[in-house]
Chains A and B, each alone.
Chain A
Amino acid sequence: MIDIDNANKEALNKLLSARPMLVGLDKAINIVPGMKKNMILHAGPPIDWERMCGPIRGAVIGALIYEGLADNEEEAKKLAASGEIEYSPCHHHNMVGPMAGIVSPSMPVYIVKNEEHGNTAYATMNEGLGQVLRMGAYSPKVIEHLKWMEEIMYPAMDKAIKKIGKVDLKNLIAQALHMGDELHNRNKGGTSLLIRILAPAMVITSVPDIAEAVLKFLDSNDHTFLNLSMPAAKASLDPARNVEGSTMVVVMARNGTDFGIQVSGLGDEWFTTPATVPPEALYFPGFTKEDANPDIGDSAIMETSGLGGFAIGASPAIVQFVGGTPQDGLNRTLSMYEITVGENNVYQVPYLNFRGTPTGIDIRKVLEKNVLPFIDTGIAHKEPGIGQVGAGLVDAPVEVFKKAVVKFAEKYS
């Protein structure tokens, strides 16, 4: 039998030694590997139009209108179901997308380079809160905002980043954890740090009106940094893929219909099971659990990399948001050490005497200890076109770990 513990150490070391740097932006069609003119990328494991949930369908409709391939909802639905559009998971293209995770060819994407291992990851810029494409909304206002991001914000961001050279995301994430972020549902610290870096460059590289508008928008959106913490996690985890004999999870992702994982020693195979609605949640006024779509988005890449729910002990504000206490958050983080390969060497939980965050989920430990990976996440309305309805806490489903363990034993016995 292969030495699983050693293989896991190797996979964890690859993750921990990553150095993700933001180096610029480009349009998806120009830079994302395998992107095509008729392709739309989505969050989670593979899925076709027939099985897509409401928010993903809504975001696909919006993307087709945004690309000019359809003039209205009816045309977009017809095209989406016609077979002319190719759907593919973000994860198959070194990419991650929060919530619906929809990426179409014209959308600008951040380029995050892992300087230690030479690989690159991508993510779109965050659109803000409420009625946004990633939550399944596609009103003219949503499309207009996406156009503003493409035509005004993207060149301004790219010029500022190029002027700076590169932005060290690992450094910002480490600082943000000390400022109360867990980097999934709370990115206030990371967003503030990013603006401090970008602003002096942007006021030189863009005209005052544009610099003012872009900086104001970045500041108005507490989730600005999520779309950088996610590709930083993706760029850090990808080198840990395909380590022979490793039971470490390298992807957890949801498409709102299915929850899927990928495991280092099991190549590109997805292990999936139906996604569930977060049982503990806070809903915006006027919405209830009945409105909620099951768990959705690639953002569980944060937990996969030892952040998000795994670091919730560093983020009392998020626990309070869903009605818990700081101790509840610490207990959640402490329980995640039970199922991880090791501890982070840079990312720390201040209230645990700067202990490194629990990092690298081991599928064996999940089943042996009966402790499930804990994710704190946004919640989209189940119908297309509405948007975010709340935020909540959810455990990864046990079935995916069972399936992976069975496959692992078959492969390596």
Chain B
Amino acid sequence: MNKINELFKSELQVINIGLESFKESLKNENIRVIQVDWRPPAVTDDRALDALNKLLGR
């Protein structure tokens, strides 16, 4: 818990993944933030996901 408190006492530097509006809110508070351009894989059905994981060696 102490460590978490220490973190929030130091200057926040944020890497945001996902919704870009989170980045905008932090930016408006003058917090250093960068956005990672990431989105979930395009496959949701099991068959295609299994196939993709196989081809990606996972």
Contacts and interface: CB of A to CB of B under 8 A. Distances in A.
Interface of A: 1, 4, 247, 335, 364, 366-372, 398, 401-402, 405-406, 408-410, 413
Contact of A402 (B37, B39, B42, B54): B42
B55 interface: yes
Given A367-B48, A409-B50, A247 B55 contact: yes
Nearest to A365: B56
B42 A413 contact: no
A366 B54 CA distance: 15
Given A247-B55, A409-B55, A367 B43 contact: yes
B31 interface: no
B52 A368 contact: yes
Binding site of A, secondary structure by majority: helix, strand, loop or mixed?
helix
Contacts of B51: 405-406, 408-410
Nearest to A335: B37
Contacts of B3: none
Size class of the B contact interface (CB-based, 8 Å): 10 to 19
Contacts of B41: 367-370
Nearest to A3: B57
Shortest 7 CB-CB contacts between residues of A and residues of B: A409-B51, A370-B42, A402-B48, A370-B39, A406-B51, A367-B42, A405-B51
A218 B41 CA distance: 45
Nearest to B39: A370
Given A402-B48, A405-B48, A364 B39 contact: no
B47 interface: yes
Interface string B16-55: 0000000000000000000001011111010110111011
A335 B37 CA distance: 9
Nearest to B48: A402
B40 to A, nearest CB: 6
A398 B40 CA distance: 13
B47 to A, nearest CB: 6
Contacts of A398: 42
A250 B4 CA distance: 52
A398 B48 CA distance: 11
B56 A409 contact: no
B53 to A, nearest CB: 9
Contacts of A335: 37
A409 to B, nearest CB: 4
A1 B43 CA distance: 22
15 contacts: A1-B57, A335-B37, A364-B56, A366-B42, A367-B43, A368-B41, A369-B41, A370-B39, A370-B40, A401-B42, A406-B51, A408-B55, A409-B51, A409-B55, A413-B54
A372 B42 CA distance: 9
